Structure 1
């Protein structure tokens, strides 16, 4: 297991749910991060799906010391580098490519690649990674797939993301090869738009209590 895999495992094991965030307004970034941290979710993933995502990562990194912010929706080595320069402490992608594996090898910032098949999981394992994202989880076979893959590829760990909510998170978290789940339900768009940080802290507390 690589040093960066060990670092990533320690991050992901610290909480059962990794918030996956789409931030539309940079001014929401810090209060959102603080609200999630107050509820017990201190590691978060800010996806690069908006024009302000890198600025949001930078703001959280600088102004919310209780938060460990990562970057998601990384599609290229350029995205990887830009996210690291903005302050991302870990990198997440929806899939994986040889170029991204190469970028990860030259970076001290941990990489969580997306996988949805046995071959993709094996490719990540061959690249020296011990934990991967399983995405999109519900559409790719769900908890049943991860249970089935646990015997033939027994040494890999997973962070399933995609279609997971408070309702079905327990199905995944009960599996020995699942470290945590990714989910957006802890920060609904309407609550973020309204600035209802107390409500988001409550959702984070409920998620943090899952095991």
Structure 2
């Protein structure tokens, strides 16, 4: 795997973040995630001000892997990169966006949930794909089934991941990391419950270490 894929895999979990008040909360959230041992974030473009959030989180924690999620256009790719995003995540597989990111040298993780998606990702030369929405699309059973004809991929499932099933997903050898919002819910962020976020991150890291045998 390339350096970014390796770094995300080593962390094991990727918080998927929607920030409603980036000017107020972005820096504090970045600090909380890093203190909890999860120095990575996917900031979704579902909320206005996503680029601002990426910029502020990156400034607060320069070594943190801050990326952009729910990217739908090449314009959003440019906006995210200008703000300091280190990787791009898309909900579906858009070959044009993937090629655009590849031309710019930025890692991209497209949402894939079918054999057709996987085949297209293979032709695009990708190493890691996002499996989305994970639970709704068949969860681990489907991920394992797709890995038989496509063993070259590592997979980042997102959608329905929580502390309850994190261990099950991470125990599958094709899983690179798990994306989730359970440690960064709207309630936790909007009410600035940083200690709770830190604790949820630490619980997640403990599961990663337990499963991967490095804890």
Tell me the TM-score range normalised by the shorter chain.
over 0.9
1:132 aligns with 2:146: no
- Aligned mates of 1:138, 1:52 — CA distance in 2: 28
Tell me what 2:7 maps to: 11
- Aligned mates of 2:161, 2:193 — CA distance in 1: 22
1:186 aligns with 2:193: no
1:40 aligns with 2:37: yes
Deviation at 1:96, TM superposition (A): 1.6
Equivalent residues of 2:30, 2:60 under 8 A apart: no
Tell me what 1:160 maps to: 157
Tell me what 2:72 maps to: 75
- Aligned mates of 1:146, 1:194 — CA distance in 2: 35
Aligned to 2:92, what secondary structure does the other structure show?
Answer: coil
Unaligned runs of 5+ in 1: none
Structure 1 moving runs of 4+ over 6 Å:
none
Unaligned runs of 5+ in 2: 209-215
Equivalent of 2:26, from 26, 29, 32?
29
Equivalent residues of 1:161, 1:182 under 8 A apart: yes
Deviation at 1:107, TM superposition (A): 1.1
TM-score w.r.t. the length of structure 1 is 0.94
- Aligned mates of 2:15, 2:6 — CA distance in 1: 16
Written as runs of structure 1 = structure 2, the 5 A alignment for 1:100-139 is: 100-139=97-136
- Aligned mates of 2:201, 2:9 — CA distance in 1: 16
TM-score w.r.t. the length of structure 2 is 0.93
Greater CA drift, 128-137 or 149-158:
149-158
